[in-house]
Structure 1
Amino acid sequence: MTTTDFLARLGAAATVAALGLGATILPAGADTMAPWYAPAATRAAQFADFREDYRRSVVEFQPFRAELTGIGADGTPLRLTSLNPYVNAWFVLETGEGRSARAWHLENAAPELFTVSLGADGRSLVIESEAGTVSCAPWEGDLESARDSGLPYSPICEQRMFLRNRGSGSRTTREAVTEFLRDYVPFGESLINVIKDTLYEDAYLTTAQTMDEAEAGSVVNALGQADLRAHPVMRSNLRVDLVGADSTQMEAGAWYAVQNAPGIYASTVQPGMVSQEVMAVPGANGMDGVENRSDVHMWAFDMSRFDLRYEIGTSHPEVDWSPRPSGAGRDYNLPGPDGFGTVEPLQMTGMMNPVFMDRLAGIFAGGFKRDHGAWRLTDYAYTNHGHHYGFVVNGVVLSRLQPGLATLYVLQDGTVHMDIWSEQLDFMLPHIRFARQNGTPLVERNADGVGVPGSQVRSWMGGNWSGSAEAQLRTLRSGVCMRTVDDRQFLIYAVFMSATPSAMTRVFQAYHCDMAMLLDMNSLDLTYSAIYPRLPGSEEFSIVHLDRRMAESDSRHRDGTPMGRFIEFSDNRDFFYLLRR
């Protein structure tokens, strides 16, 4: 579904209501808004306030927040805030008052299914679904126990909710999470069954794992070959089992289905192989001999098979000021460009929720950390507080999405999009579940919808492209692009071993991308990506990296087996992950 299709389905009334400008608030899903109704005037005032600049907390910053209050059976004052009732994923529960007041960051285990409230009497936390109603009072001891568990996601309320705890990279925490994972199936069987029976039905998990060679071949044929002047056989650091081919003998520019990973495809190329027809499209610089011969490794994900999600790390990206903006681009009266310098009381775990382990298909590292995620020069440095790169997690705006920046985002209905953000798109904010900005586009759509070099590809400062530690523009870089083939959408992630933005642009053009953006750079640690093939019906998976040297970023269990980054221990950097539908 395209953005246009989604907006048409919302309709004008929903668009107005989403900003609190109409008479009612329309639900994000069946009954999910019912406990969180707020008058239109309140919604409008909150959204107007969201655009203002002043000191506040990240909770007060949220434009769609709504709250319920009550008093527990033990007399504890309660306030439950849904940070975005449309997305229905993150909540802040405040308990007590005065010096005993505490704030707890809760996550809905299944936002598509569970409606969370304080109940009609305001005396307990109530989670409702088609499978029944669960009531609990976690402030009577369970929250402290969940906090002390050391788990980044600690289950409460019969596994319907999780207390989020800030992640740690310590061995103790890693082993605690590992033990949780090993014990998870008997522990979480009831939750898995609820989700399976009411949300995924017969299409859940193992049935989505199979893909015969004929189907894989038809997708490979649809993807075709990149526009290259030659298609030599390459030997690279991509080591993956392919359907009907050897990864040490891959034809440049061709796509290959990955064995035991339905919907995932691999390709390799070098920028110097791009055809003259692609190189002749104006808007990018020429390439030198080094980047002409540098390897590029790619995954392509058939998005009809996956959900894309995003988490920030325990430390990056932060929400305070980048040191880059100055003058009119910086307000020293504010702790950060959006009025806050910390995400407290929200807790960033730095890892995927283990409840999704049996659906995990792939992961790739996110974008620049805050220090580098703003402009030093050009008009962007002196307007909109330096255009700090924005990001949204589970419907919560942690940093405003800035106009003019390339934005990868996931709507509430699960569709994935990449656009140049503009203020005219702000009305979609209540329905954006995940978003990440990272500079200006490498490839953007022209008037005919064809991908051409972005307007700032040639400008080092204009595109905020950064460089290596030696200030070289050519360095190891990663990027992501979108491509549609026969109404089938593909997300392509690529690592360029030594490239400028122009070389990245030419490769993405050659692969027929209509939109592309930079992510991170300078090391394999910052451009990390892995997929997780598994035999049909098996709970066991292997870790396959886009470059085999990325394995150095993984940790190890005590028995020496790999411990997957972002999935079995917390990380300080942000990341995207793909789950099988």
Structure 2
Amino acid sequence: MATLGLGTATAPAFADTLEPWYMPAAERAAQFADHREDHRRSVIEFQPFRVELTGTGDDGTNLRLTSLNPFVNAWFLLETGSGRAVRQYHLENIAPELFTVSLGEGRNELVISSEAATITCAPWEGELEEARRQGLPFAPICEGRLFLRSRGSGSRTMRESVAEFLRSYVPFGEDLINIIKDTLYEDAYLTTAQTMDEAEAGSVVDALGRANLSSHRVMRSQMRMDLVGAESNQMEAGSWYAVQNAPGIYASVVQPGMVAQEVLDVPGANWLDGVENRADVYMFAFDMSRFDLRYEIGTGHPEVDWSPRPSGQGRDYNLPGPDGFGTVNPLQMTGMLNPVFTDRVAAIFAGGFKRDHGAWRLTDFAYTNHGHHYGFLVNGVMLSRLQPGLATIFVLQDGSVHMATWGDDLNPLLPHIRFARQNGTPVIEPDPATGVGVPGSQVRSWMGGNWSGSAEAQLRTLRSGLCQRVVDGRQMLIYAVFSSATPSGMARVFQAYGCEFAMLLDMNSLDLTYSAIYTREPEAEDFDIVHLDRRMAQSDSRHRDGRPMGRFVEFSDNRDFFYLLRR
């Protein structure tokens, strides 16, 4: 199992109390046991760590506030009224490290507490419905401490509404942003161009070194970005370059045919044909000491119902989905990051397979665990079970990032996982004897690895992947787009770059393998959108005045994505 420092990540011991979210140990154990059973239920009833508070507002409104995971402290469901008149609101605490949310001692109002201050509010007295009428993916309530989430839309109207929200609600210097900035991220808003920190950039480039290639020819690429020490269309293959005005981000380019013979001699992958050998691979590397990694699902994908792939013993037709539910309602998936984080966003990359393709059709995985649908969690809320044997990237509540093949030994971490995404089996996994990254056990098996292919059922196609390595104590996350590759080609490239663990993400189009970074000139508030492949710009939209509008950042999208925020 390879991780980014997983050996130091241990789950805190469970306590009988987690103020203000108390649940007796026996009741908590029973709830977790029920979570593991197969039966019909809602996504709320599926949450193994949920705790609820009930009360009555001063106006007589019946209240129920459910913390979907009090350890992570990010998502809540507020229900008001009773019977058929119940209204449900999906609330997000955007600073779970800072704010504690409850119904207070009187159970009659929302109380949001921090070391700096405590505020109270009763948003059911009109504020919630007004927020809902705005039609925004994120609408602030309770002096901006909480946000009402609503399902996003990709329509032009929605995009412009979000743009207006960004301009009107999130000017730099807002009270909420100042609270978060001063309390949690003291230096997060310090804008510094990469050229002002060349010494550190150079040391990271030296530590990353050059990939293990047979040749390091100069390549012309589809990148169009300012690099320290090179032109982006004239890059030495296998070398890393710091990206100008993007501290902590580095770029590289290579072709699989350049990989050194000693790498190719490691068993576990198939030979590469002439097309794959000449296909460009573009990479971003992120120094994770500078970033927080987060994940959101899209307005449409991945879904939580059945993939059509499992059959026989792998499918239970009495259940609407493999986990007992077929919809995430009443939770609301926005398809974009919260706009208050716009000035901290550093990078975006697309997530994994949609549900239809995210399960097995053949092999033992198709007939066990309901077909091993790829699991995912958002803000501590389990939307699909993490399945054993699958390549998994996950982020703990302390912000640490890990990659591993999921197994029962990792289950104690579940209450403390804030984000997670599974996608197939490992492309690279550590050799048990040496710890060095080698091709995953299923790399040569099309059905065993569930690798899918192009629309013409060819295994070689456009693919994206994610890998991790640690260099000089720095955790580096590497996102790569392979213009035409098989899993074997991906494995050989990731081997050459010294990766310890790697996984497939998505494939077949630049839209599904989208990646962009957001660079800022010194002292500038506006960012420039810089794509890993310049043709990815076609996935963005534009404001009415013609300015680019970043996908996942300034408008909702139907696909899932990862994003990095500057610390």
Query: Which TM-score applies when normalising by structure 1?
Result: 0.95
Q: What letter corresponds to residue 439 of structure 1 in structure 2?
A: G
Matching residue of 2:16: 24
1:464 maps onto 2:442 in alignment: no
Deviation of the 1:50 alpha carbon:
1.1
Q: Which amino acid aligns with 2:215?
A: A
Question: 1:151-230 counterparts in 2 under 5 A?
Answer: 151-186=136-171, 189-201=174-186, 203-206=187-190, 211-230=196-215
Which of the numbers 225, 234, 241 marks the counterpart of 1:256? 241
Distance change >3 Å, CA 148–CA 441, structure 1 → 2: same
- Deviation per CA, 1:335-389: give whole Å up to 9, x if none: 0000000000000000010010010000000000000000000000000000000
Per-residue CA shift, 1:376-422, capped at 9, x if unaligned? 00000000000000000000000000000000000110000000001
Is the Cα–Cα contact under 8 Å of residues 208 and 580 in structure 1 kept in the other structure? Answer: no
Post-superposition shift, 1:185? Answer: 3.6
CA distance in 2, matches of 1:98, 1:245: 66
> Which AA in structure 1 matches 2:545?
D
1:539 counterpart = 2:525 = yes
Q: Which amino acid aligns with 1:378?
A: T
Residue of structure 1 equivalent to 2:516: 530
In structure 2, the residue matched to 1:500 is: 486
Q: Within 1, Cα distance between the matches of 2:450 and 2:133?
A: 42
Partner Cα separation in structure 2 for residue 412 and residue 90 of structure 1 = 13
Amino acid at match of 1:539: E
Supply the distance in 1 between the matched residues of 2:355 and 2:158 (Cα, whole angstroms): 26
How far did 1:3 drift? 1.6
Specify the alignment match of 1:487 in structure 2: 473
Q: Distance in 1 between matches of 2:318 and 2:172?
A: 49
* 5+ residue gaps, structure 2: none
Structure 2 partner of 1:35: 20
Deviations 1:81-132 (A, max 9, x none): 0000000000000000112101100000211100000010011011000111
1:75 alignment partner, SS class? coil
- Aligned partners of 1:90 and 1:105 also within 8 Å: yes
How far is 1:187 from its partner?
8.6
Structure-to-structure mapping, 1:92-107, within 5 angstroms:
92-107=77-92
- Tell me the equivalent position of 2:378: 393
Q: CA shift at 1:46, angstroms?
A: 1.1
Instruction: For residue 543 of structure 1, give the secondary structure of its aligned residue in structure 2.
Output: strand
User: 1:538: Cα distance to partner?
Assistant: 1.9
- Between the aligned partners of 1:389 and 1:209, the Cα distance in structure 2 is 39
- Percent identity of the aligned residues? 77
Equivalent residue of 2:468, what SS?
Answer: strand
Match in the other structure for 1:474: 460
Question: 1:150 — aligned with what?
Answer: 135
**2:337 corresponds to 1:352:** yes
Q: What is the distance in 2 between the residues matched to 1:146 and 1:128?
A: 22
SS of the residue 1:290 aligns to: helix
Residues 442, 449 of structure 2: 8 Å contact kept: yes
SS in 1 for 2:9: helix
Match in the other structure for 2:115: 130
List runs of 5+ in structure 1 lacking aligned partners.
18-22, 26-32
In the TM superposition, what is the alpha-carbon distance from 1:208 to its structure 2 partner? 6.6
Match for 1:72: what amino acid?
Answer: G
| 1:36 partner SS | coil
| Structure 1 residues 118 and 464: CA distance shift in structure 2, 3 A | same
* Shift, 1:559, TM fit: 1.1
1:342 counterpart SS class:
coil
How far is the alpha carbon of 1:204 from its aligned partner? 2.7
Deviation at 1:209, TM superposition (A): 6.1
Residue pair 2:365, 2:372 contacting (<8 A) in 1 also: yes
Computed over aligned residues only, the root mean square deviation of the Cα atoms, in angstroms, reads: 1.1
- What's the secondary structure of 2:160's corresponding residue? helix
Which residue identity lines up with residue 95 of structure 1 in the other structure? T
Partners of 1:124 and 1:513 lie apart in 2 by 50
Q: Which moved more, 1:368-377 or 1:531-540?
A: 531-540
Aligned to 2:321: 336
Q: Deviation digits for residues 149-191 of structure 1, max 9, x if unmatched?
A: 0110000000000000000011111111000111234497110
Q: CA deviation at 1:205?
A: 1.7
Shift of 1:535: 1.6
CA distance in 2, matches of 1:396, 1:296: 34
Cα deviation for residue 24 of structure 1 reads 2.3
Q: Deviations over 1:283-306 (max 9, x none)?
A: 000000001000000000000000
- Going from structure 1 to structure 2, the CA distance change for 1:422 and 1:209 (only over 3 Å counts) comes to farther
Is 1:272 matched up with 2:275? Answer: no
CA contact (8 A) 2:249 2:286 kept: yes
Partner of 1:580: 566
Secondary structure at the aligned position of 1:404 is classed as coil
Does structure 2 conserve the Cα–Cα contact (< 8 Å) formed by 1:480 and 1:492? yes
Give the whole-Å Cα distance in 2 for the aligned partners of 1:330 and 1:297. Answer: 39
Q: Distance in 2 between matches of 1:60 and 1:188?
A: 40
Kept in 1, the 8 Å contact 2:191–2:520? The answer is no
Structure-2 residue corresponding to 1:568: 554
User: What are the residue-to-residue correspondences of 1:225-240 with 2, within 5 Å?
Assistant: 225-240=210-225
Task: Give the whole-Å Cα distance in 1 for the aligned partners of 2:288 and 2:298.
Answer: 24
Counterpart CA distance in 1 for 2:193 and 2:448 is: 44
Q: What are the residue-to-residue correspondences of 1:423-434 with 2, within 5 Å?
A: 423-434=408-419
**Contact 1:206–1:536 (8 Å) recurs in 2:** no
Aligned to 1:309: 294
Q: Could you tell me how far apart the structure 1 residues matched to 2:565 and 2:503 are? A: 22
Per the normalisation by structure 2, the TM-score is 0.98
SS of the residue 2:203 aligns to: helix
The answer as to whether partners of 2:188 and 2:344 remain within 8 angstroms in 1 is: no
In the TM superposition, residue 207 of structure 1 has moved relative to its aligned partner by: 5.6
2:267 alignment partner in structure 1: 282
Is the 2:137–2:152 Cα contact (8 Å) retained in structure 1? yes
Map residues 507-518 of structure 1 onto 2, 5 A cutoff: 507-518=493-504
Q: SS state of the match for residue 505, structure 1? A: helix
Q: CA deviation at 1:196?
A: 1.4
Cα distance in structure 2, aligned partners of 1:546 and 1:415 = 25
Closer, same or farther: CA 570–188 of 1 in aligned 2, 3 Å: farther
| In structure 2, C-alpha distance between the alignment counterparts of 1:62 and 1:4, rounded to whole Å | 27
Q: Distance in 1 between matches of 2:140 and 2:257?
A: 51
Tell me the amino acid that sits aligned with residue 146 of structure 1: A
Counterpart AA for 2:189: L
Structure with more of its chain in helix, by fraction: 1
Q: Is the 8 A contact 1:130 1:198 kept in 2?
A: no
* 1:438 and 2:423 are equivalent in the alignment: yes
Task: Report the more deviating stretch, 41-50 or 365-374.
Answer: 41-50
Output the CA distance in 1 between the equivalents of 2:466 and 2:188.
28
**Which one of 506, 515, 519 corresponds to residue 520 of structure 1?**
506
Q: Which runs of 4+ in 1 moved over 2 A?
A: 184-188, 207-211
- 1:206 is displaced (CA, Å) by 1.1
3-state SS in 2 of match to 1:361: strand
